[in-house]
Chains A and B, each alone.
Chain A
Amino acid sequence: MLGDWHQLWLIVSNPDNVPVVALIGLVPFFTWFGLRQARANDRLIEKLETDPELARTHHRKTQPYHPSWAKEVHTWPYLLRIELLAAILVTVILLVWALSVNAPLEEPANAAITMNPAKAPWYFLGLQELLEYFDPWIAGVAIPTFVILGLMAIPFIDVNPLGNGYYTYKQRRFAIWTFLIGFEGIWLVLTMIGTFIRGPGFMWFWPTQTWDPDRIEFLTTRNLDDIFGVNGKWLAHLLPASQQANAVLWARGLFGIIPVGIYFLVAAWFFYKIITATPFTRKIFGRMSLLQVVVMEVLLILMLAVPITFFMRNLLRIKYVWETPWFNL
């Protein structure tokens, strides 16, 4: 039943969801705020590119400038007073928050009574959401590990020397898009889904739909090999007698390599196309070592796999594309 605004209010006003609600406003605001400055810088860059003379003399910032002004200012008091102001404001915000919203305290822990829904803290809800799409070892272990390693790898694979220390969009289009897709398009959206959409039984409830713990959901998902009818009959002839019984498993395992392989190739080609789309990006590409290219490709491919799986599962109802006795993808 849609239109249950009370339900939506319950979710939004849940104390532990306050940060998520705050993020809805904060992240777009700061994205806009940063990109606005990037646009100003981009205009400046454009101007300087067309006017080399000016480029030589210009202080190259959008901030106001006069030659007589000191290049550096004293930390005390100019930085510290700002820090003081920030600290006071943060304290005020925190106190108001603390005075108006109580930290949640639910029933005493009881292993016999399952919470429904049993949700992780909001910052892990993205991971919990991934658990719906991937095997636990992928969602819970492999992906976080890749995210952390991927983040740490960024400085080493982003060889673009431009845009170091100032906002710019035009000079770093690819990097910014990639990051915004990863950070906002995937992580934040998954967190939102986990917070607002997932109800009892971790079922999918549209906003304003009543969270009915007794709701019955009909979900069929199929594995890709089922759709293609992989049954391993033809493989049975090729296998030694001892493995005859496992023909299906073998067939599935082998079959799964095909779509996964195709995806890797297509995605790799897709990203290659993107990073060599313009002369500028080709120039950057030229600066990259083979290892950097490979690492970047792998990370990008894996990142793209998340939304693709998301859509495959939710729209195409495909569960696994590659099944093996040890893991499923």
Chain B
Amino acid sequence: MPGQQPPPQDPITSRSLAGPLLVAGLLLLAVLGWSLYQEEFGLRPWRGYQARFSRVYSAYLEKRLADRRAADRALDATSQYKALEAAVEAARSAAKPKDAATDKAAALVAAQRAALLPTYVTVHAQVGALTYDYEQIPATAAYRGSKQHAYNVMIAARNQVHVVDWPTAQGTTVKRGFTYDQLNAEFTNLLDLKAEYVAARGQEDAGVTAAVKKLNDYVAATLPGLPAATRNALLQKVRTLDFTIHQVYVDPPGTSLNYLGGGSLVDRCQSCHLGMDSDLVPPQITMTKADLGLAKSHNAPFATHPEPVLLTLHPLHRFGCSTCHGGDGWGLDTVSQAHGRFEHWPWPLYYSENIEAGCQNCHAADAWTPYAPVLDRGRFLFRVKGCIGCHKYAGFDDQAEELASAEHEVSNLDREKAANARQAKASNHAGDVAASNAEAQRDYAAATNLTVQNAKIDTQMTALGAKERDLFEEVKKVGPNLKEARLHLRQDWIPYWIAHTHQFEPDAQMPQFRLEPYEVRAISAFLWQDALQGPAPPKQAPGDPAHGKQLFMERGCLACHSIGEGSNRTGGDYAENLSRIGEKDTYDYLVRWVYNPRLRTEPYDPTLHKDLSPADYAKAGLPFVFDAQHSTFDGHEIEWENPTVMPSFRLSWQDARDIASFLETQKTNMNYAPASYMDDPKLFAQGKALVEFYGCASCHEIAGLEDQGRIGVELTQEGSKPLGQIDFGFLLTDAQEGIRPDGKPADHGPWDTLRGFLEAKIHQPGVFDADRYRPNPETRLHMPTPALTRDDLEALVTFVLGSVDNSTLPPNYLYKPTGEAADVQKGWWIATKYNCIGCHQIAIGQQSVLESLPMYQGENAANLPPPLTFEGARVQPEWLKQFLANPALSTSDTNRDGVRSYLEVRMPTFFLTDDEIRSLVSFFEAMSSEPLQYVPSQLPPLTPPETAIARAIFTSPAAPCLKCHMDGVAAHDKTASAPNLLQVKARLRPAWTLQWMTDPAAMQPGTAMPSGLFRRENGRWVFNGPLPAIAKNYPGDMAELLVRYLFEMTPAEQQQVLRLTPTGH
């Protein structure tokens, strides 16, 4: 600035920047330090986990090691151990002298070889080079001289004698000369000798090896688990654990296991979940957090897999972790990143409640997934709660879709056939006018092929026709047939039920719709007016409620239905609770229903799209009869039965009346408001629109809406739905902040995830309507509210969450069983569809509903239906087919069980289709691992003496077979507890029968059939009781003899033994 005194020094050149530079430099150092820290620790939290794991796990191992050492010491003190140890010692000392001689000889050979080796190597190289020199000189005249010379040199080298200091057996060293050839020979000889001594040594020690093995086997058998030495090595390894990333790397060829659409799977989960690393925790060790003393820690991911068998089925090296569990296998920086619980990871770890969702990813086609009870429950509920009514799910009760596709296929084939015929005609014509014979022959051949093709199509169409027929019958509806509402239900009850479904029945299968009163009125009126007016079911006289109650309890109704509410509730949850059935059903209808629920008022003709009235039949000149034998009208299939899964119990009309009378007593004193509007025709159109809107026809048969498909979203791949496509409505902010729709904090915090959405949606679908201006109720979300417990809700969430688009996974990872496993899955669909598992135990460990009921406890367990765990091995497939088609095994005497007529509980008639029966038979065979093609084994016929012996055993007092087994005497059969042995030949398999007779309790614990009838003696079964004189000298297998006897049982023989039986009656 002018006028001012300039500063004495130039501010630029004089000022030092050292200060700022120093500060900046220090800052830089500090930041670099931060960076290093972040790299080493901040971004590597797994180091901390590994350090901690090393600490707790080595403590765990130390403790176990000490225990093990003590156990080892205790074992060492036992006499067996000592004896075995002594045996080892004895063997050792026995082998010692020979060993010493062999070892000495071997040592000499080694010394000789060592002495020979340097010379051998040198000479070998020299001769080799000289030989090459000789060989590479051309054998022409021009080179003859040099070739000869080279030859001489080579031969000289070969013949030169090399002296070696040769060790002898006496320990001295002698000079020994070798030519090239001798060297070779000696060297080979030494090698042979060495091999010989090694073999000799092994042979000499065979005794020792065997003894040691015996000892080790004994130790392993007495003290399973890791031996102390292994444990110690492991402990050292864990103590000095190297902190590294542990990862599973799977790279199946073709596609990828991850959902990124390509490349390998990298799961570094084990970097923190160290208990899963089999290098550190061998499979013999299973430990929980508590075992490690960290029971209360929420941050100790060190336990081993809780279900080791799953790891055996899905080895880590093939499946990794995230394939089943979700999460970000790459993530290592933070827990939330590793678990994929951050915004940008579409495949977060499943929460423990939904952990089995992972199974569904690959097991989507299963009807039953072992080790996944929650998932199985979800599948069960998906059907029972009627989800399947509205939501398509590929492979799940898709007979309707299959039927449609079969029809489609038929029409395609029809078209193809017509096209073929046209083409064949054209080809023939082309052949007729073709210029050359060769061409003509080609044309004719083409035409012939097409004709044959059409014939093949015909066979296909025939098969499809049969399939269609079966499918037509297999299509079942979740809810009752509402065409019969007018005949079936009380008028006043209908609107109440629609409006207050869950008040009337808290765990109803039918979900609660959210309806305005006018909607309820319109829907009720429509259903009422739309229903058939008649012909009414036959008028019934009143029955005996007391007898009805007894029958209701005994026949097995409770396997599916429940009765009583709250704590009084007993029975299964497969079908409706019947506590208030008396308030809704009309008596006459109920009697017919109980008698045979498949009986219909009028059949429905899907081709003509109408219910066929008696008048229609009359017009066609046919009697008004429709059943399995009269399942067509005017040449096409008709719906001749109610599409319900409820079977017929083959009751008499009187029994049906009694049960119905009992059920009619099941009611409260509730008064229903009269519903006079039910006949108001003005409500019809509005009601119909509403019924269509809410998709009632998805679960019910409703006249005029038979063809309405499923109205809901297909859920087959719901678990892969991008979050962006999900409408949280006005709950998005709440979801992000973790506030549940009811205002409480959500269990897992923010729930703006697919899982959170599904949980809220299935629990209370209506919440997503909240705060929305919906002047017209019909603009609300359709989905009704199902009645679910918390566990059931999670089961359904698990099922839907796991239903992902698995097309990106390698196809061979998807569980698509073939052979037996496929039969098992197919059979389970049917077994669960008809609730076979309500009465029968089918899989080992599974419990039927009846088993849990109070009236089948204790000794009453004998009244249970038979377990079917060995059914495939027990009975012959042909017999099973007949039985499933007609469980009474009789066309006339049907009010009974075909096999065990003494049982009160009854195998009902399910009216299964041929296809279902085939599937079930294959299912039982596959469950018992029986080969698919059953060829009855030919038993050697009994000789007369054998018959006599068998009869004697059969009737001996020690084997009172006919005391329990039915024998055709009516009075006895009532109290019998086992089937008639006359059925054996047609029903059972000999192999099973033998196994059964010798130890029934092993196959069916708690059976009335006693075990120990036979004892094993010299490789054969011998009757365990006092032997009848005639049988004393029988040399053969007596159990086998008895099996053969049973397979030859005739009524005459039965009568004969009946007379002989000391316990006869």
A–B contact with Cβ pairs below 8 Å: the answer is yes
A residues adjacent to B (C-beta < 8 A): 4, 54, 57-58, 64-70, 73, 78, 81-82, 84-85, 88-89, 91-92, 95-96, 99, 105-108, 110, 112-116, 210, 212-214
Q: Is the interface of B mostly helix, strand, loop or mixed?
A: helix
Chain B residue nearest to A212 in the complex (CB) = B732
Measured CB to CB, the closest approach of chain A to B13, in angstroms, equals 6
- The answer on a CB contact under 8 Å between A84 and B28 is no
Chain B residue nearest to A89 in the complex (CB) = B24
Select B10's contact among A54, A69, A95, beta carbons within 8 Å. Answer: A69
5 closest Cβ contacts across the A-B interface?
A66-B6, A88-B24, A106-B344, A95-B31, A113-B722
- Interface assignment of B7: CB less than 8 Å from any CB of chain A: yes
Residues on A with beta carbons closer than 8 Å to the beta carbon of B343: 106
Measured CB to CB, the closest approach of chain B to A145, in angstroms, equals 35
- The answer on a CB contact under 8 Å between B31 and A99 is yes
Q: How large is the interface on B (under 10, 10 to 19, 20 to 34, 35 or more residues)?
A: 20 to 34
**Also in contact, A64 and B28, with CB within 8 A (given A81-B17, A88-B21):** no
Stretch at the interface among B32-40, B125-133, B164-172, B570-578: B32-40
- The answer on a CB contact under 8 Å between B25 and A88 is yes
Select A73's contact among B13, B38, B344, beta carbons within 8 Å. Answer: B13
14 A-B residue pairings within 8 Å (CB atoms): A4-B733, A64-B6, A69-B10, A78-B12, A78-B13, A81-B21, A85-B17, A88-B21, A88-B25, A88-B27, A92-B27, A92-B28, A95-B32, A108-B260
Select B28's contact among A73, A91, A105, beta carbons within 8 Å. Answer: A91
- The answer on a CB contact under 8 Å between A85 and B31 is no
- The answer on a CB contact under 8 Å between A105 and B344 is yes
- Interface assignment of B709: CB less than 8 Å from any CB of chain A: no
**Also in contact, A95 and B35, with CB within 8 A (given A64-B1, A88-B28):** yes
Residues on A with beta carbons closer than 8 Å to the beta carbon of B12: 69, 73, 78
A110 to B617, CA, bound (A): 60
Residues on A with beta carbons closer than 8 Å to the beta carbon of B6: 64-69
A108 to B24, CA, bound (A): 40
Measured CB to CB, the closest approach of chain B to A234, in angstroms, equals 46
Chain B residue nearest to A104 in the complex (CB) = B344
- The answer on a CB contact under 8 Å between B724 and A113 is yes
Select A64's contact among B11, B17, B725, B729, beta carbons within 8 Å. Answer: B11
A89 to B35, CA, bound (A): 16
- The answer on a CB contact under 8 Å between B38 and A70 is no
Q: Is the interface of A mostly helix, strand, loop or mixed?
A: loop
**Also in contact, A54 and B2, with CB within 8 A (given A91-B28, A213-B724):** yes
A65 to B13, CA, bound (A): 13
Chain B residue nearest to A95 in the complex (CB) = B31
Select A107's contact among B13, B21, B346, beta carbons within 8 Å. Answer: B346
Residues on A with beta carbons closer than 8 Å to the beta carbon of B27: 88-89, 92
- 1/0 contact trace for B24-54 toward A, CB 8 Å? 1101100110110010000000000000000
- The answer on a CB contact under 8 Å between A92 and B2 is no
Residues on B with beta carbons closer than 8 Å to the beta carbon of A88: 21, 24-25, 27-28
- 1/0 contact trace for B357-391 toward A, CB 8 Å? 00000000000000000000000000000000000
Q: Other CB < 8 Å A-B pairs besides A66-B6, A95-B32, 16 of them?
A: A54-B2, A66-B7, A69-B13, A70-B10, A78-B12, A81-B17, A85-B24, A91-B28, A105-B344, A106-B344, A107-B344, A107-B346, A108-B261, A113-B722, A114-B724, A214-B727
A212 to B17, CA, bound (A): 53
**Also in contact, A64 and B7, with CB within 8 A (given A99-B38, A106-B344):** yes
- Interface assignment of B535: CB less than 8 Å from any CB of chain A: no
- The answer on a CB contact under 8 Å between A107 and B24 is no
Select B31's contact among A58, A96, A110, beta carbons within 8 Å. Answer: A96
Residues on A with beta carbons closer than 8 Å to the beta carbon of B28: 88, 91-92, 95
Residues on A with beta carbons closer than 8 Å to the beta carbon of B2: 54, 57-58
A79 to B1, CA, bound (A): 24
**Also in contact, A92 and B31, with CB within 8 A (given A82-B17, A113-B724, A114-B724):** yes
Residues on B with beta carbons closer than 8 Å to the beta carbon of A69: 6, 10, 12-13
Question: Which residues of chain B from 328 to 358 have a CB within 8 Å of any chain A CB?
Answer: 343-346
Measured CB to CB, the closest approach of chain B to A298, in angstroms, equals 44
Measured CB to CB, the closest approach of chain A to B700, in angstroms, equals 34
Measured CB to CB, the closest approach of chain B to A106, in angstroms, equals 4
- Interface assignment of B306: CB less than 8 Å from any CB of chain A: no
- Interface assignment of B20: CB less than 8 Å from any CB of chain A: yes
Which residue, of A68, A107, A110, A212, has the highest number of chain B Cβ atoms within 10 A?
A: A107
- The answer on a CB contact under 8 Å between A92 and B24 is yes
A295 to B35, CA, bound (A): 53
- The answer on a CB contact under 8 Å between B21 and A84 is yes
A105 to B260, CA, bound (A): 14
Measured CB to CB, the closest approach of chain A to B342, in angstroms, equals 10
Chain A residue nearest to B723 in the complex (CB) = A113
A66 to B7, CA, bound (A): 8
A64 to B12, CA, bound (A): 10
Residues on B with beta carbons closer than 8 Å to the beta carbon of A114: 724
A95 to B10, CA, bound (A): 35
Chain B residue nearest to A82 in the complex (CB) = B17
Residues on B with beta carbons closer than 8 Å to the beta carbon of A84: 21
Measured CB to CB, the closest approach of chain A to B768, in angstroms, equals 11
Chain A residue nearest to B16 in the complex (CB) = A81
- 1/0 contact trace for B619-652 toward A, CB 8 Å? 0000000000000000000000000000000000
**Also in contact, A210 and B733, with CB within 8 A (given A66-B7, A66-B10, A99-B31):** yes
Chain B residue nearest to A54 in the complex (CB) = B2
Residues on B with beta carbons closer than 8 Å to the beta carbon of A70: 10, 13
- 1/0 contact trace for B772-808 toward A, CB 8 Å? 0000000000000000000000000000000000000
A110 to B723, CA, bound (A): 13
Measured CB to CB, the closest approach of chain A to B805, in angstroms, equals 11
Which residue, of B20, B31, B260, B722, has the highest number of chain A Cβ atoms within 10 A?
A: B31
A107 to B346, CA, bound (A): 7
Which residue, of A68, A81, A89, A92, has the highest number of chain B Cβ atoms within 10 A?
A: A92
Measured CB to CB, the closest approach of chain B to A72, in angstroms, equals 10
Which residue, of A58, A96, A210, has the highest number of chain B Cβ atoms within 10 A?
A: A96
Residues on A with beta carbons closer than 8 Å to the beta carbon of B31: 91-92, 95-96, 99
A116 to B726, CA, bound (A): 13
A67 to B206, CA, bound (A): 109
Residues on B with beta carbons closer than 8 Å to the beta carbon of A85: 17, 20-21, 24
Measured CB to CB, the closest approach of chain A to B593, in angstroms, equals 48
Measured CB to CB, the closest approach of chain B to A105, in angstroms, equals 7
A246 to B262, CA, bound (A): 54
Measured CB to CB, the closest approach of chain A to B327, in angstroms, equals 15
Chain B residue nearest to A112 in the complex (CB) = B722
Residues on A with beta carbons closer than 8 Å to the beta carbon of B261: 108
Residues on A with beta carbons closer than 8 Å to the beta carbon of B25: 88
A294 to B732, CA, bound (A): 55
Residues on A with beta carbons closer than 8 Å to the beta carbon of B24: 85, 88-89, 92
Chain A residue nearest to B345 in the complex (CB) = A107
A64 to B261, CA, bound (A): 66
- The answer on a CB contact under 8 Å between A99 and B21 is no
Residues on B with beta carbons closer than 8 Å to the beta carbon of A113: 722, 724-725
Measured CB to CB, the closest approach of chain A to B59, in angstroms, equals 36
Residues on B with beta carbons closer than 8 Å to the beta carbon of A91: 28, 31
A214 to B725, CA, bound (A): 11
Measured CB to CB, the closest approach of chain A to B1036, in angstroms, equals 72
Residues on A with beta carbons closer than 8 Å to the beta carbon of B344: 105-107
- 1/0 contact trace for B562-598 toward A, CB 8 Å? 0000000000000000000000000000000000000
Measured CB to CB, the closest approach of chain B to A276, in angstroms, equals 36
Chain B residue nearest to A62 in the complex (CB) = B1
Measured CB to CB, the closest approach of chain A to B344, in angstroms, equals 4
Chain B residue nearest to A91 in the complex (CB) = B28
Chain B residue nearest to A96 in the complex (CB) = B31
Residues on B with beta carbons closer than 8 Å to the beta carbon of A67: 6
Chain A residue nearest to B20 in the complex (CB) = A85
A169 to B722, CA, bound (A): 55
Residues on A with beta carbons closer than 8 Å to the beta carbon of B729: 214
A73 to B9, CA, bound (A): 14
